[in-house]
Amino acid sequence: MARIVQKYGGTSVGSVERIEHVAERVEKTFLEGNEVVVVVSAMGKSTDQLVTLAKEITDSPSKREMDMLLTTGEQVTISLLTMALQKRGIDTISFTGWQAGIQTEESHGNARITNIDTARLENELSEKRVIIVAGFQGATENGHITTLGRGGSDTTAVALAAALNADRCDIYTDVTGVFTTDPRYVKNARKLQAISYDEMLEMANLGAGVLHPRAVEFAKNYNVPLMVASSMVDEIGTMIEEEVSVEKNLIVRGIAFENDVTKVTVSGLPNKLDTLPKLFTALSENNVNVDIIVQNQLDEDSVNVSFSITQSIIVETIRALEQVKEELGFTDITHEEELAKVSIVGSGMVSNPGVAAAMFEVLAANDIYIKMVSTSEIKVSAVIKEDDMVMAVEALHDAFQLAEQETEVSA
What confidence tens digit (pLDDT) does each residue in 115-139 have? 999 999 999 999 999 999 999 999 9
307-341 per-residue burial string, b: 16 or more CB within 10 A, e: under 16 = bbbeeebeeebeebbeebeeebebeeeebeeebbb
DSSP string, 154-200: HHHHHHHHHHTT-SEEEEEESSSS-BSS-TTT-TT--B-SEEEHHHH
Domain that holds residue 298: 255-399
Q: Which residues contact 83 (CB under 8 A, 6 or more apart)?
A: none
What type of residue sits at position 27?
E
Average pLDDT over residues 374-381: 92
Let me know whether 154 and 24 are in one domain: yes
Confidence (pLDDT) at 78:
98
Residue 246 pLDDT exceeds 60: no
Q: Are residues 264 and 176 in the same domain?
A: no
- Give the residue from 246, 269, 286 where a domain finishes: 246
334 and 201 co-located in one domain: no
User: Does residue 160 share a domain with residue 38?
Assistant: yes
Residues 213 and 277 in one domain: no
**What percent of the chain lies above the pLDDT cut of 70?**
97
Count up the domains in the chain and report the number: 2
- Give a yes or no: residue 410 inside a domain: no
| 145 in a structural domain | yes
Which of 224, 246, 268 finishes a domain? 246
Kindly state whether residues 262 and 194 are assigned to the same domain. no
Q: Which of 205, 225, 246 is the last residue of a domain?
A: 246
Q: Does residue 407 lie within any of the structural domains?
A: no
388 phi and psi angles, rounded to 5 deg: -95, 0
Together in a domain, 242 and 290: no
108 and 42, same structural domain? yes
Q: pTM of the prediction?
A: 0.83
Q: Are residues 128 and 212 in the same domain?
A: yes
Residue 405 lies in a domain: no
Which residues, listed in sequence order, are joined to residue 8 by a DSSP beta bridge?
Answer: 40, 172
Instruction: Name the nearest CA neighbour of 171 among 111, 99, 219.
Output: 219
